[in-house]
Structure 1
């Protein structure tokens, strides 16, 4: 059976996409729910990290570094969207496993 990948894909497209994906995943069951919950957790961890780091860099007036961070965030989101579209449980590079450990079974 083919996974419903739409919530997993849109979760990486802004905070509004995350909220829509959360609502769409609410009535799912089984593999679809687990797959989408995985990507919701990865997206949430990435959103929290980028928000904290970006705020810190702005307070320190490191605008160039913040710009590079935002570009890196964009690239990671594209990679995660491609992984979700391919039906992969793809961790965010370097921090994805820690995100998964931190949030456990959140959204399932």
Structure 2
């Protein structure tokens, strides 16, 4: 019952965290008072995805690789969509590939 309450209370913040970098920042600020573990989990996932997309875009611009826009960007979008779907469904599930790393790297957030 307590886990279900945590999920329900943090679901809105978790969903907001996936709406661009601004949404991630807003979700982080909103969660500072509540310290909801479910919301914090998804804030870490969303921040990791935003930074991943930024880094990959930066590298592709520097190297001038159109591969980013054909393969990597759609793959990052799919990962983002998975994270959002997990948040909506109330699942604390990491996204494939780097989700576990995001939880480790950003463990102090939330």
TM exceeding 0.5: yes
Q: Number of paired residues?
A: 103
CA RMSD of aligned residues (A): 1.4
Contact 2:31 2:39 in 1 (8 A): yes
1:77 aligns with 2:80: yes
1:11 aligns with 2:17: yes
Map of 1:91-106 to 2, 5 A cutoff?
91-106=94-109
Which residue is 2:33 aligned to? 27
Higher helix share: 2
Structure 2, unpaired ranges of 5+: none
Q: Residue 36 in 1 paired to residue 39 in 2?
A: yes
8 Å Cα contact 2:21/2:47 also seen in 1: no
Aligned 8 A contact 2:16 2:24 in 1: yes
* TM-score for both structures, normalised by structure 2: 0.84
4+ long deviations beyond 6 Å:
none
1:3-25 superposed Cα distances (whole Å, 9 cap, x missing partner): 12011012111111112211221
Q: CA deviation at 1:105?
A: 3.7
Separation (CA, whole Å) in 2 of partners of 1:59 and 1:41? 27
TM-score, structure 1 normalization:
0.85
Larger mean CA deviation between 87-96 and 2-11 belongs to 2-11
